Chains A and B, each alone.
Chain A
Amino acid sequence: MEFLPWLILLSPLASAACILLFAHRSKALSVTLSLAAVLTAFGATVALLAAGSQTVASSVTWINLGPALHLTIGLKVDALTRVMLLVVTGIGALVHIYSTVYMAEDEGKSRFFGSLSLFMFSMLGIVLADSLTMIFIFWELVGVSSFLLIGHWFTKESAAKAANKAFLTNRIGDFGFMSGILLVWAATGAVGFDAVQQNMAKLTANPALLTLAALCLFCGAVGKSAQVPLHVWLPDAMEGPTPVSALIHAATMVAAGVYMLARLFFLFAPSPDALTVIAAIGVVTALLAALMATQQDDIKRILAYSTLSQLGFMVAAIGCQAPGSAMFHLFTHAFFKALLFLGAGAVIHGLHHEQNIWKMGGLRKTMPKTFLTFAIGTLALTGAPFLAGFFSKDAILLAAYNKGPLFFFPLLLSAVLTAFYMTRLVVVAFFGEAYHPTGHGHSKDHGHDGPAAMTVPLLILAALSVIAGYGFFAEPIFGHDLFHTAHSLATFSAAGVLEYVDAPHVALVPMLAVGAFVLGTLGAWMLYSGKAKDPVRIPLFANRFYIDEAYAALIAGSQEMLASVSDWVDRYLIDGVLVRGIAGLTWGTGYALRLLQLGNIQGYAFIFGAGVVVLLFLLNK
């Protein structure tokens, strides 16, 4: 039993090391190794799930500096980990299979699969980690592998820049995360999740410190899960290959922030202030990203903003004391968002790298399987009743309803917008007439379904997107206790124990959720059906509220100021005073002394004699 988590963690590492060190010359071998690793991890995960729901933990000492600092490399498998393991390895396996086709022609195929394996290792490390230090190390590693994969086509300038942007933006969040870890360690003297939880009394004794530590830890999630104000990197990360967008920037890595919040919920629960901040940031992200998504034209960017919005929902759920709902939405969202991205990848692949939805049109006829699965994914995301997204979004809305109207109504509006922009995407790309540059006739090759390695993952994910919300499927994976918390609110009792109580059921909430779905879908259908170009233009949304421009101006402005100050210091203080000053002093002294060279022997003798006299005078004074 205990070797299974290690097998899950280390098989992708072995694959990554083998590919990047030895096998990168052979594309076929690299693909085989990477596939074997991910399938091994998936098989081990299934075996772990089948083995029962008890907690499995094993660790080895890494650094032992006495009781103050005892770091272990430890793995812990509990209900939360099982869910994430299945999501990561399951979707990971499907994305690997899909990538064999999508990346078939690519020059850097070996590098791609090596990086993908490295990512799997890092992500599984986050999921399996049993301490803050472990999770931080793997947190950074997913950042690196994400950097490598976004920048896979590094010869394209936009991809290289996007990779840098993602990495740097994440670093800001990670700095907060590290500060939070240090604060927690300073207060409790522990870094292991269990040890911190046992020593929570030391933290709760100081509410201000607790709130500060919680918010610092939350910074990590803001970076990794791309919440406002650090959301700017995720849309740009779409420069990476589409399978990467599906796996990393939709299903798994960006969900790591939510997972971390749920894992450390015992730390956030005692601080109402921190929870309110988290909920507010989640709600703002959900709404802003949904508004931005309504005016994007790039199929992947629409999905990226949709991901931002859904991550906002999850973070808001954490803030609304419903970590179970957040994990439930993470679980269902992973399936249908991976499906949507892989579907978008199939469209892009079929249309020879065309990403503008206005240049698609009529794809339902030429790509029927892709259309069918994409439509299922859309319905699941928009919260159509009886599909996966409906259940999980409903749970979050219920939690927000119990938190207050200020949190509920923006989220409801986001749900309407979700239905709106997804229906817009489907109507424009898949319905209507096929786009033709001249306006008439039929393009010779307007899309086709991909081969089986592409469509089978789509079909599997479509099936999962339908059933993932139902108890018969999700409950065995979540385990009875965790699944039960999906519709519960967590509170921190006076005795310092986390308690779950059923959320008060409000019949109005599901009705409003269905209403939001219907309203958004019908609105977009009526507005966009049969249109060849966008009838609505809202520059504010299309330009993402000018946030990127504001950051650019802010950073450029502050950099320029810093640069001009540095320039002044360098030019006048260092060059002027130090370098030129010393040189000038030496030169001046030399010039003055040069005047003593009279060229007259008697003059020298006189100065010499005068010197002796002065010396004698000084000595006998």
Chain B
Amino acid sequence: MQTLTLNHYLLASGLLFSLGFAGVMLRRNIITIFMCLELMLNAANLSLVAFSRFHVGTDGLPNYNAQVLVFFIITVAAAEVAVGLAVIVALYRARQTTHVEDLQSLKF
């Protein structure tokens, strides 16, 4: 059986990211777009953790910098979700829709 290498993790991460990006580009429901954004963030987190795991220093320990960065991302993402969902709720109350085609008044 083949062992898992960094490339496998990065491939998975890249697939997740592409999936998220495709969702952002193609879906019309703003909640779905929002969740796809979270998916892209987690793809980044996955590759960071993989880097940490496969980047062992001379003392035999993994590089923890990447893991710290992951916690930052999770924290920021949590804050972003709080704000983003609040915005979406407010938007829904104002316009009774969550479809991006209906939200085009800020265009030239």
> Residues of A with Cβ closer than 8 Å to B?
594-595, 597-602, 605-606, 609
* Contacting pair A602 B26 (CB below 8 A): yes
Task: Identify which of residues 39-87 in chain B touch chain A, using a CB-to-CB cut-off of 8 Å.
Answer: none
| Candidates A597, A602, A606, A609; contact of B107 at CB < 8 Å | A597
Question: What's the Cα separation between A375 and B103 when bound, in Å?
Answer: 106
Indicate whether B104 reaches chain A with its CB closer than 8 angstroms.
Answer: yes
| Candidates B21, B104, B106, B108; contact of A609 at CB < 8 Å | B21
> B70 → chain A, closest Cβ, in Å?
20
* Contacting pair B100 A600 (CB below 8 A): yes
Identify the closest chain B residue to A593 (Cβ).
B108
> A328 → chain B, closest Cβ, in Å?
91
Interfacial chain A residues near B100, Cβ < 8 Å: 600-602
Pick from B21, B103, B104, B108 the residue with the most CB of A within 10 Å: B108
Interfacial chain A residues near B16, Cβ < 8 Å: none
Interfacial chain B residues near A606, Cβ < 8 Å: 25
Question: What's the Cα separation between A595 and B101 when bound, in Å?
Answer: 18
| Candidates B25, B105, B108; contact of A602 at CB < 8 Å | B25
Pick from B24, B30, B103, B105 the residue with the most CB of A within 10 Å: B24
Pick from A594, A601, A606, A609 the residue with the most CB of B within 10 Å: A601
A-contact 0/1 string along B19-34, CB 8 Å cutoff? 0010011100010010
* Contacting pair B24 A605 (CB below 8 A): yes
Majority secondary structure of chain B interface residues (helix, strand, loop or mixed): helix
Identify the closest chain B residue to A606 (Cβ).
B25
Question: What's the Cα separation between A212 and B26 when bound, in Å?
Answer: 89
Question: What's the Cα separation between A600 and B33 when bound, in Å?
Answer: 13
> Residues of B with Cβ closer than 8 Å to A?
21, 24-26, 30, 33, 100-101, 103-108
* Contacting pair B104 A600 (CB below 8 A): yes
> A120 → chain B, closest Cβ, in Å?
78
* Contacting pair A599 B26 (CB below 8 A): no
Question: What's the Cα separation between A461 and B32 when bound, in Å?
Answer: 115
Identify the closest chain A residue to B36 (Cβ).
A605
Given the known interface contacts A606-B25, A609-B21, the answer about A601 and B106 at a Cβ–Cβ threshold of 8 Å is no
22 A–B contact pairs at CB < 8 A?
A594-B108, A597-B106, A597-B108, A598-B107, A599-B105, A599-B106, A599-B107, A600-B100, A600-B101, A600-B104, A600-B107, A601-B30, A601-B100, A601-B103, A602-B24, A602-B25, A602-B26, A602-B100, A605-B24, A605-B25, A609-B21, A609-B25
Question: What's the Cα separation between A609 and B26 when bound, in Å?
Answer: 13
Interfacial chain A residues near B105, Cβ < 8 Å: 599
Interfacial chain B residues near A599, Cβ < 8 Å: 103-108
Interfacial chain A residues near B26, Cβ < 8 Å: 602
Pick from A594, A599, A600, A609 the residue with the most CB of B within 10 Å: A599
Question: What's the Cα separation between A601 and B103 when bound, in Å?
Answer: 9
Interfacial chain B residues near A594, Cβ < 8 Å: 108
Interfacial chain A residues near B104, Cβ < 8 Å: 599-600
Interfacial chain A residues near B33, Cβ < 8 Å: 601
Interfacial chain B residues near A601, Cβ < 8 Å: 30, 33, 100, 103
- 4 tightest A-B contacts by CB? A599-B107, A599-B104, A594-B108, A601-B100
Interfacial chain A residues near B107, Cβ < 8 Å: 597-600
Identify the closest chain B residue to A605 (Cβ).
B24
Question: What's the Cα separation between A594 and B103 when bound, in Å?
Answer: 18
Interfacial chain B residues near A609, Cβ < 8 Å: 21, 25
Question: What's the Cα separation between A605 and B21 when bound, in Å?
Answer: 9
Interfacial chain B residues near A598, Cβ < 8 Å: 107
Interfacial chain B residues near A597, Cβ < 8 Å: 106-108
Question: What's the Cα separation between A110 and B21 when bound, in Å?
Answer: 94
> B9 → chain A, closest Cβ, in Å?
20
Interfacial chain B residues near A605, Cβ < 8 Å: 24-25
Identify the closest chain B residue to A609 (Cβ).
B21
> A186 → chain B, closest Cβ, in Å?
69
> A31 → chain B, closest Cβ, in Å?
81
Question: What's the Cα separation between A335 and B88 when bound, in Å?
Answer: 105
> B101 → chain A, closest Cβ, in Å?
8
Q: A601-B33, A602-B25 are in contact. List 15 more A-B contacts (CB 8 A).
A: A594-B108, A595-B108, A597-B106, A597-B108, A599-B104, A599-B108, A600-B100, A600-B101, A600-B104, A600-B107, A601-B103, A602-B24, A602-B26, A602-B100, A605-B25
Question: What's the Cα separation between A601 and B105 when bound, in Å?
Answer: 12
Identify the closest chain B residue to A597 (Cβ).
B108
Question: What's the Cα separation between A609 and B23 when bound, in Å?
Answer: 13
Question: What's the Cα separation between A600 and B104 when bound, in Å?
Answer: 6
Interfacial chain A residues near B103, Cβ < 8 Å: 599, 601
Pick from A597, A598, A600, A602 the residue with the most CB of B within 10 Å: A602
> A596 → chain B, closest Cβ, in Å?
8
Question: What's the Cα separation between A286 and B26 when bound, in Å?
Answer: 102
Question: What's the Cα separation between A598 and B105 when bound, in Å?
Answer: 10
Interfacial chain A residues near B108, Cβ < 8 Å: 594-595, 597, 599
Identify the closest chain A residue to B25 (Cβ).
A602
Interfacial chain B residues near A602, Cβ < 8 Å: 24-26, 100
> A505 → chain B, closest Cβ, in Å?
102
Question: What's the Cα separation between A594 and B106 when bound, in Å?
Answer: 11
Question: What's the Cα separation between A105 and B92 when bound, in Å?
Answer: 92
